[in-house]
Amino acid sequence: MFDELVEIVGPRIQKQDTYMRKALPPDLKLAITLRFLDSEEWASTEEVFRNRWNIPHAVGALDGKRVAINKPAKSGSLYHKGFFSVVLMALVDGNYKFLWVDVGAYGSMSDP
């Protein structure tokens, strides 16, 4: 599961090497982040998924949706995949509380 998560977030957290220093690889950055997150919050979120939805070890539910838009000027096919759209991705906890939202990726991206 960790490798799948690195594939998803890796491109967003990857930085370029500079003359001053080499950038940390995405898998190391993700491991450090996960290590220092508040474990009590993760435990309470997992408890809600386990008790309310009968899904153990879950700490979030992720889904995406294409949102139709008017064609942006000079956008070519960046926003087009059957119709012009942007991609909305959202992560919620077991009580439908939003934990993370990303809106605005090109509609021509692969299906969420």
Instruction: Give the pLDDT score at 100.
Output: 86
- Rg of the chain over Cα atoms, rounded to whole angstroms, equals 18
Residue-wise pLDDT tens digits, 20-56: 889 989 999 998 888 777 778 888 889 999 999 999 9
pLDDT at site 94? 93
Q: Taking the CA atoms of 24, 26, 27 and 32 in sequence, report the sign of the dihedral they define.
A: positive
Residue 105's pLDDT is 64
pLDDT on residue 112: 44
Question: H or E stretch including 92?
Answer: strand 85-92
Where do the domains of the chain lie?
Answer: 59-112
Directed axis angle between helix 26-36 and helix 2-13, to 10°? 110
Task: For the chain, count helices (H), then strands (E).
Answer: 3, 3
pLDDT at 90 > cutoff 60: yes
